[in-house]
């Protein structure tokens, strides 16, 4: 093993220029094969539009300058000085917002030199990638986030990046995300064009589908219950003004508070999101229930009286019959008191006294108010069910 290292030291000291690409003398672009091994995949934040990953970047290329007949086995090197002494592709991550190299407990870098001159360069990085998301269907949305690897200083004439043929992007075993499910990973090539030249680059696309379970429990189910509770007022008596008012105002404040809590965790975008449509419609249903009570209560208390009805007074009844008495041109009801005298037998008086007058029927406006309440018991749930059918069918399609 020591002989192999001494031979490697000799190769690096004799006519080895780490600034030149391995194929510089051939006037060809050096092909570097890349592979990503994702160790951890953090949750994507809709506020900052980024996500954090811990990955291994593996790069392979052929360097004939490090090929020697006496080197018969692969050499694994992690000495930073030896790593600096050989040529390495100068790549970077264009869409990375922050990057950290892992130093615990030693620098996480490995260079493997095979006997045929093939070099494997592997390093561990912690990166924060930006992911521009379209939240128009949030939280029933699907997103596509990318990882980009590109050449920083070598143009496409000097360095060509390629993905590994089989499984270029590998996810760690048991890797799961809290809010998303990885549907597909697509690896492709690209080319960045600048004024100073064209540069080779690679793109890994992660097709993610948001798990709706969290939002179903925290957002949708509570608002559905609040809307249903607001319909309880339709079964309450019209005269229950304090109870129906308290119920309507409480449910309206509850759905408004729920909406504010959801919006606090989202960025302020200029377009309407799916959760905005849901919360706005639920707020409208609760508000309409409160307006319905206001209108019904107004109809119930409204008592239109004509001039003749104001002058009339209901006559008092005696033995089931009303007796009218006219005095100076005005009519008034006079109660006739029947007094039982001791000299009159009981048989002279009627034995069966008829029942009193029946309760007067409700006014048309009160009947109309009750009818509105009865119709609301069916119209509001039906309208909310129709809205749910259209909402879920549109945003889940």
Work out how many domains the chain is built from and give that number. Answer: 2
Q: What is the pLDDT of residues 304-334, one digit of tens each?
A: 555 555 555 555 444 444 444 444 444 444 4
**In this predicted structure, what is the pLDDT of residue 339?**
44
Tell which of 175, 210, 245 closes a domain.
210
**In this predicted structure, what is the pLDDT of residue 311?**
56
- Evaluate whether residue 322 is within a structural domain: no
Distance CA 185, CA 164 (A): 14
**In this predicted structure, what is the pLDDT of residue 9?**
82
Tell which of 151, 180, 210 closes a domain.
210
Distance CA 120, CA 112 (A): 5
CB atoms within 10 A of CB 264: 8
- Evaluate whether residue 349 is within a structural domain: no
- Evaluate whether residue 313 is within a structural domain: no
Q: Is 197 found in the same domain as 224?
A: no
**In this predicted structure, what is the pLDDT of residue 304?**
58
Position of tokens 């609301």?
376
Assign 152 to helix, strand or coil: coil
Asked if 127 and 168 count as a contact pair (C-beta separation under 8 A), the reply is no
Distance CA 350, CA 358 (A): 21
Q: Is 143 found in the same domain as 129?
A: yes
Q: Is 169 found in the same domain as 53?
A: yes
Instruction: Say what percent of the chain tops pLDDT 70.
Output: 84
Q: Using CB atoms within 10 A of its CB, is residue 269 exposed (0-12), middle (13-18) or buried (19+)?
A: middle
Q: Is 150 found in the same domain as 47?
A: yes
Q: Is 43 found in the same domain as 92?
A: yes
Closest CA to 290 of 343, 323, 335, 253: 253
Tell which of 210, 235, 259 closes a domain.
210
Question: Which range of residues forms the domain containing residue 46?
Answer: 4-210
**In this predicted structure, what is the pLDDT of residue 159?**
94
What DSSP designation does 216 have? I
Distance CA 237, CA 370 (A): 9
Distance CA 177, CA 211 (A): 9
**In this predicted structure, what is the pLDDT of residue 7?**
82
Which residues does the chain have with pLDDT short of 70?
1-2, 303-362
- For 9-40, letters b (16+ CB in 10 Å) and e give eebeeeeeeeeebbbeeeeebbebbbbbbbee
Q: Is 131 found in the same domain as 174?
A: yes
- Evaluate whether residue 42 is within a structural domain: yes
Where do the H-state alpha helices sit in 331-363? Answer: none
**In this predicted structure, what is the pLDDT of residue 358?**
61
- Evaluate whether residue 326 is within a structural domain: no
- Helix axis angle, 241-264 to 221-230, nearest 10°: 160
Q: What CATH number has the domain bearing residue 281?
A: 1.20.58.390
Position of tokens 């986030």?
145
- Evaluate whether residue 69 is within a structural domain: yes
Q: Is 230 found in the same domain as 206?
A: no
**Tokens, residue 148:** 């980009």
Distance CA 59, CA 57 (A): 7
Q: Is 175 found in the same domain as 43?
A: yes
What residues contact residue 89 under an 8 Å CB cut-off, 6+ apart?
Answer: 30, 32, 59, 61, 121, 151, 154, 159, 161
Whole-angstrom CA distances from 145 to 17, 46, 116, 142 are 38, 12, 37, 10
Q: Is 71 found in the same domain as 155?
A: yes
Distance CA 274, CA 392 (A): 10
Q: What CATH number has the domain bearing residue 32?
A: 2.70.170.10
Q: β-pairing, 169-171 with 30-41?
A: parallel
What residues contact residue 369 under an 8 Å CB cut-off, 6+ apart?
Answer: 238, 296, 297, 299, 300
- Evaluate whether residue 361 is within a structural domain: no
**Tokens, residue 376:** 């609301």
Q: Is 237 found in the same domain as 153?
A: no
Q: Is 254 found in the same domain as 181?
A: no
Q: Is 247 found in the same domain as 173?
A: no
- Evaluate whether residue 351 is within a structural domain: no
DSSP bridge pairs for 265: none
**In this predicted structure, what is the pLDDT of residue 324?**
46
């Amino acid at each position: 093993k020591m002989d192999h290292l001494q031979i490697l030291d000799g190769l690096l000291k004799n006519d080895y220029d780490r600034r030149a690409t391995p194929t510089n003398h051939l006037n060809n672009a050096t092909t570097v094969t890349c592979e990503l091994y994702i160790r951890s995949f953090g949750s994507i934040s809709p506020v900052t539009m980024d996500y954090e990953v811990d990955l291994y970047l593996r790069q392979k290329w052929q360097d004939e300058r490090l090929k020697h007949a006496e080197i018969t086995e692969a050499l694994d090197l992690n000495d930073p000085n030896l790593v600096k002494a050989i040529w390495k592709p100068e790549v970077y991550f264009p869409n990375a917002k922050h990057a950290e190299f892992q130093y615990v407990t030693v620098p996480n870098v490995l260079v493997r030199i095979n006997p045929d001159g093939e070099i494997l360069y592997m390093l561990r990085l912690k990166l924060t990638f930006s992911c521009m998301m379209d939240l128009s269907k949030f939280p029933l949305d699907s997103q596509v986030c990318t990882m980009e690897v590109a050449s920083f200083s070598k143009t496409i004439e000097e360095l060509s990046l390629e993905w590994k043929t089989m499984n270029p992007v590998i996810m760690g075993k048991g890797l799961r995300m809290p809010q998303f499910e990885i549907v597909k990973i697509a690896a492709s090539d690209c080319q960045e064009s600048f004024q100073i030249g064209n540069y080779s680059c690679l793109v890994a696309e992660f097709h993610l589908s948001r798990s709706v379970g969290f939002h179903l429990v925290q957002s949708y189910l509570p608002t559905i219950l609040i809307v249903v509770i607001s319909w309880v007022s339709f079964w309450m008596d019209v005269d229950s003004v304090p109870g129906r008012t308290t119920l309507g105002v409480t449910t309206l404040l509850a759905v408004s508070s729920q909406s504010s809590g959801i919006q606090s965790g989202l960025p302020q975008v200029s377009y309407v999101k799916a959760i905005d449509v849901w919360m706005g419609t639920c707020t409208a249903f609760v508000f309409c229930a409160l307006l319905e009570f206001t209108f019904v209560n107004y109809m119930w208390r409204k008592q239109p009286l004509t001039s003749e009805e104001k002058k009339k007074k209901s006559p008092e009844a005696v033995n089931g019959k009303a007796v009218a008495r006219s005095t100076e041109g005005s009519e008034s009801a006079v109660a006739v008191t029947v007094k039982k005298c001791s000299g009159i037998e009981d048989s002279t008086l009627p034995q069966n006294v008829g029942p009193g007058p029946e309760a007067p029927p409700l006014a048309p406006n009160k009947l109309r108010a009750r009818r509105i309440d009865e119709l609301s018991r069916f119209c509001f749930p039906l309208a909310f069910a129709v809205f749910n059918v259209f909402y879920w069918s549109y945003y889940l399609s």
